[in-house]
């Protein structure tokens, strides 16, 4: 089972951030509606999250019965194509508890569930902001949260009281801690955008790679 990424030091650092900083939104309401809300309209992301030693599913690289390299959904592609400008909306989305179509298979403790939108945004964020200070770029581990540094990851089941009737879940404190840590690094200009399709070297994702200068 994948280990839970948690650090008392990271928790203390996040909690001691001034309230005005911890609550600050980085994106505009217009951008949020334009780029985040479409994720809720996706009925099938082509993946599901599961909790074992090889759990590395991501909406950035979906699959289907015919191909392990399915086309990412348009809402996901739009966020990647935003480049560095996509980081603020993704970070603001981390505390969004609206339930999505993506399933988490659960484990011995957690029942299977549809994950909240915040976890989808974390999934994308981990893929476009890899490396210091949030993760180990040289790490080759597998599993939920593998290679993420302390304080920058929460699990798909780090929520409570998810109700289909309301379409939302309750937010556990650790999610806000992680969000505050991402927000702090963004405001200090330490996050670096990286197009995940540039490293794929696959024909299926060629159209999503960063255009070469001069073209």
How is residue 90 written in tokens? 């993704």
Per-domain boundaries in the chain: 8-208
List beta partners, residue 113. 104
pTM of the entire predicted model: 0.86
Residue with tokens 């993506």: 102
Q: What is the pLDDT along the chain (215 residues), one digit of tens a residue?
A: 333 444 434 443 444 444 444 468 999 999 999 999 999 999 999 999 988 755 578 999 999 988 889 999 999 999 999 999 999 999 999 999 999 999 998 777 778 889 999 999 999 999 999 889 999 978 878 888 888 999 999 999 898 888 888 899 999 999 999 999 999 999 999 999 999 999 888 889 999 999 877 55
């Amino acid at each position: 089972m994948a280990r839970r990424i948690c650090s008392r030091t990271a928790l203390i650092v996040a909690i001691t951030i001034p309230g005005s900083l911890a609550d600050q939104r980085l994106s505009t309401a217009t951008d949020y509606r334009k780029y985040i809300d479409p994720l809720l309209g996706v009925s099938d992301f082509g993946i599901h999250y599961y909790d074992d030693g090889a759990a590395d599913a991501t909406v950035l690289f979906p699959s289907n019965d015919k191909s392990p390299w399915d086309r990412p959904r348009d809402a996901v592609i739009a966020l990647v194509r935003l480049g560095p400008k996509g980081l603020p909306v993704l970070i603001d989305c981390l505390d969004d508890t609206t339930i999505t179509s993506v399933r988490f298979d659960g484990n011995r403790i957690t029942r299977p569930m549809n994950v909240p939108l915040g976890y989808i945004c974390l999934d994308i964020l981990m893929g476009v902001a890899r490396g210091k200070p949030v993760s180990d770029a040289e790490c080759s581990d597998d599993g939920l949260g593998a290679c993420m540094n302390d304080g920058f990851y929460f699990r798909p089941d780090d929520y409570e009281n998810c109700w289909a009737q309301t379409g939302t879940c309750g937010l556990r404190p650790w999610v806000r801690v992680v969000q505050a840590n991402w927000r702090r690094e963004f405001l200090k200009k330490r996050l670096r955008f990286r197009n995940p399709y540039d490293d794929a070297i696959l024909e299926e994702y060629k159209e999503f790679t960063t255009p070469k200068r001069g073209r």
